[in-house]
Structure 1
Amino acid sequence: MGSDKLSSFSRSVSFKQRATNLGSPRFSRKSWVSRNFTVLIVFGSAVSFLLAISGGYLYVLPSLTKAFHEVSIPTTSNGGECDIYDDGDWVLDNSYPLYNASDCPFVEQGFNCLGNGRTDKDYLKLRWKPKGCDIPRFDVESTLEMLRNKRVVFVGDSMGRTQWESLICLLMTGVRDKASVFEVNGNQITKQIRFLGVRFGSFNFSVEFYRSVYLVQHNWSPKRAPKRVRSTLRLHKLDDISAEWRNADMLIFNSGQWWVPEKLFGTNLTLRECEVPNQPLLETRGQDNSSFSDAIFSVVKTMTIPVTIMHITPMSAFRSDAHVGTWGDKPSLSDCSHWCLPGVPDVWNEILLSYLHSTHSSTIWERMTSNSTIAR
């Protein structure tokens, strides 16, 4: 790439995440390049909970003290505040990528772009650099110890599954006995399986994924419903597999892509051609803004369980170069929604893990350690 710094930008959104100790993610967007909205919510509690989604609000058991967390990362320059997501650059870093997808058995073939014939590699060597602070470098040894005896659960769609795969591959770089890391049911990683769980035997923790694209109950059309009604969503009830999420030390949700009209009502489903550029975009054409984000931010502030929002839309909106494109499992179709691995989801996980390592989150982890049980 001609320059180490690729795109410098500064924007305001309705809700600003500030930083003094660490960061948080997820995102939205639609354009000729990509159509996806993803919001990552981390629930730092081991108690059983009830989560209902209706009209853009979340409600959880009110027995806990209100705890809305803004994520931050340590400043390294002037000690002031740092806007993690809205103000920064994608910079060249030759220490990336952090793993080889072909050496990680938990990356599904459709996300391994290099393995599927992609020849350019610049997209692999970029890291996110917020202005005024640095995202701490991934330390696999301390992270494996931090997760010892824990249970991490991802819930959502293929975007969440990509991040789940990324996290497992990052963690595997520090495991000497690779055979001690295994899928609990012996499954290959594919999108057809609703539950996938990977066990790190040497450290006694699991990283699991549950496919639940709406998070709430999805049923077929009821009797006597109009013909145009093909299915229904019960907004006041969690998905029928939600009982499986209980006793998780950390829950990571994503669902937003499925709530846009094209997905929700089956409109405009014609396949569109898209293009994957060789470098990040210089501007996002406003695709980093979303009313979904505004609703989520306002609701989470009133919640009564420790929640962290990781608003990665702004930083991810520039990385059209890192999409799967024609290097997926269907080369005849250009995929501008999903991400190559290694790639952008690794940076989401670096921010997530930095947050968990921070002093700010230490009391949350202490509470989880004393109250949680890990599935065996």
Structure 2
Amino acid sequence: MALLCSQTSCSVFTSFFILFFLLSLQCQKGTSFHHHHHHHERVHHQKPILKANNNQSTCALFVGSWVYDESYPFYESSSCEIIDPEFNCQMYGRPDSDYLRYRWKPLNCELPRFNGVEFLLKMKGKTVMFVGDSLGRNQWQSLICMLSAAAPHAQTQLVSGDPLSIFTFLDYGVNISFHRAPYLVDVDVIQGKRILRLEEVDKNGDTWKNVDVLLFNTGHWWSHQGSLQGWDYVELGGKFYPDMDRMAALERGMKTWANWVDTNIDRSRTQVLFQAISPTHYNENEWNAAVGMTTKNCYGETAPISGTTTNLGGGATYTDQQMRIVDMVIREMRDPAYLLDVTKLSEMRKDGHPSIYSGELSPQQRANPDQSADCSHWCLPGLPDTWNQLLYVALFY
């Protein structure tokens, strides 16, 4: 059937059709930063959509194995001045280097390679803030090193402080910040005593408002005893306790944090992620060590646990118990944080810790790794670079 119209009405119809066509094209192209990952904010464990191999429908980002790859690492420790001595294993005498060259391989897809310039361009004018303990600081410094290596001539500025440090890529207006808050909830000092307030987070939370990407972590400090303990009293329900069940304390603190985020963070502006608890390697039984080993921890380990994360088992370690609480609390949030679920893939990296190459240890300390090896933090370059590669995928894919 022919379309009949006058010259005027046809002209109007044609103009309308062209306008409609241009608008539809614009809608297809114009995916903004916020729209791009709104689906991550709604679904706790939803993985970024990557092209999967073997006709699998989705990419299981956090399940897989470690593959030796000569194209790694992303940077040299000697070229990144921000690395703390306790993370700078090459500078402090670590003799092996294979641990630098492992790439994370998800089970049924390929992880996109980190592109630092793309990261800076997409985050132009925005702020990324790591919030938590020294494992968050470990990851914060890793990201700065990765971005600095990708944009070596960019003008930068570091403002160091406690609890807040800010590293700025001035050419891009990108702030990469670290806020030290090991428990996430507030710790106040009253008459010389440190009070861990399990039901208050407002003092810390003021720092987290109006940030574009928030990545939280906690875990290790909840188990500290004796001189390493970060509080003198726990406050709960208006009462003060010298101690309490540590798992119960973690759960109460996490729920306070989760309620605060649900109430105070504008999720149309801010992407909220939670870094799964980083495992330690102080017990060789956890990786089925051979009988007759001379050390009882990560000292002397030069390769990852072989196989895949699915072979590791689980549920036995203190970290696994903590992760069950973290997982439960995040699932119960009104708008769940995206869980960067790195615990199992990190458990395989018994080779990635500073061990006795953690800053200026004395000869006596180095001779006694059973007492002095750091099997909690990670060398840089090293495993936290993979955490940031996964953060990159979560933000942009």
RMSD of aligned Cα (Å) = 2.8
**Conservation of the 8 A alpha-carbon contact between 1:67 and 1:303:** no
Identity of aligned residues (%): 33
Query: Following TM superposition, by how much is the alpha carbon of 1:284 offset from its aligned partner in structure 2, in angstroms?
Result: 5.3
Query: Following TM superposition, by how much is the alpha carbon of 1:76 offset from its aligned partner in structure 2, in angstroms?
Result: 3.5
CA, structure 1 residues 275+131, in 2 after alignment: closer, same or farther (shift >3 Å)? closer
**Conservation of the 8 A alpha-carbon contact between 1:123 and 1:279:** yes
Q: Which residue of 2 aligns with 1:100?
A: 76
Q: Which has the higher helix share?
A: 2
Task: Return the letter of the residue paired with 1:166.
Answer: S
Query: Following TM superposition, by how much is the alpha carbon of 1:301 offset from its aligned partner in structure 2, in angstroms?
Result: 2.4
Q: Gaps spanning 5+ residues in structure 1: where?
A: 1-43, 46-64, 224-229, 359-376
**Conservation of the 8 A alpha-carbon contact between 2:298 and 2:353:** no
Matched, 1:274 2:297: yes
Query: Following TM superposition, by how much is the alpha carbon of 1:141 offset from its aligned partner in structure 2, in angstroms?
Result: 2.0
Matched, 1:343 2:382: yes
Tell me whether 73-82 or 139-148 shows the greater mean CA deviation.
73-82
Q: Gaps spanning 5+ residues in structure 2: where?
A: 1-33, 36-40, 233-242, 244-281, 284-295, 366-371
Task: Return the letter of the residue paired with 2:183.
Answer: Y
Query: Following TM superposition, by how much is the alpha carbon of 1:260 offset from its aligned partner in structure 2, in angstroms?
Result: 2.3
Query: Following TM superposition, by how much is the alpha carbon of 1:257 offset from its aligned partner in structure 2, in angstroms?
Result: 1.1
- Structure 1 distance, partners of 2:217, 2:191, is 27
**Conservation of the 8 A alpha-carbon contact between 2:195 and 2:231:** no
- Structure 1 distance, partners of 2:52, 2:176, is 32
Please point out which of 125, 132, 141 is paired with 2:117.
141
- Matched residue of 1:335: which SS? coil
Please point out which of 168, 184, 189 is paired with 2:144.
168
Q: Which residue of 1 aligns with 2:321?
A: 291
**Conservation of the 8 A alpha-carbon contact between 2:130 and 2:178:** yes
**Conservation of the 8 A alpha-carbon contact between 2:194 and 2:230:** no
- Structure 2 distance, partners of 1:241, 1:300, is 19
**Conservation of the 8 A alpha-carbon contact between 1:274 and 1:335:** no
- Structure 1 distance, partners of 2:51, 2:68, is 20
- Matched residue of 1:168: which SS? helix
Q: Deviations over 1:3-32 (max 9, x none)?
A: xxxxxxxxxxxxxxxxxxxxxxxxxxxxxx
Q: Which residue of 2 aligns with 1:312?
A: 342
Query: Following TM superposition, by how much is the alpha carbon of 1:168 offset from its aligned partner in structure 2, in angstroms?
Result: 0.6
| Runs of 4 or more consecutive aligned structure 1 residues displaced over 6 Å after TM superposition | 264-267
- Matched residue of 1:324: which SS? coil
- Structure 1 distance, partners of 2:360, 2:93, is 12
- Structure 2 distance, partners of 1:131, 1:353, is 18
Matched, 1:216 2:192: no
What is the correspondence of 1:85-124 to structure 2 with a 5 Å cutoff?
85=62, 87-124=63-100
Structure number with larger C-alpha Rg: 2
Query: Following TM superposition, by how much is the alpha carbon of 1:313 offset from its aligned partner in structure 2, in angstroms?
Result: 0.5
Query: Following TM superposition, by how much is the alpha carbon of 1:108 offset from its aligned partner in structure 2, in angstroms?
Result: 1.4
- Matched residue of 1:336: which SS? coil
**Conservation of the 8 A alpha-carbon contact between 1:140 and 1:174:** yes
CA, structure 1 residues 310+351, in 2 after alignment: closer, same or farther (shift >3 Å)? same
Q: Deviations over 1:222-258 (max 9, x none)?
A: 89xxxxxx64321111162321221000111111111
Task: Return the letter of the residue paired with 1:96.
Answer: Y
Query: Following TM superposition, by how much is the alpha carbon of 1:66 offset from its aligned partner in structure 2, in angstroms?
Result: 5.4
- Structure 2 distance, partners of 1:113, 1:206, is 26
- Per the normalisation by structure 2, the TM-score is 0.64
- Matched residue of 2:377: which SS? strand
**Conservation of the 8 A alpha-carbon contact between 2:124 and 2:174:** yes
- Per the normalisation by structure 1, the TM-score is 0.67
Task: Return the letter of the residue paired with 2:195.
Answer: T
**Conservation of the 8 A alpha-carbon contact between 1:73 and 1:84:** no
- Structure 1 distance, partners of 2:139, 2:122, is 19
Task: Return the letter of the residue paired with 2:297.
Answer: C
Matched, 1:200 2:169: yes
- Matched residue of 2:54: which SS? coil
Q: Which residue of 1 aligns with 2:200?
A: 237
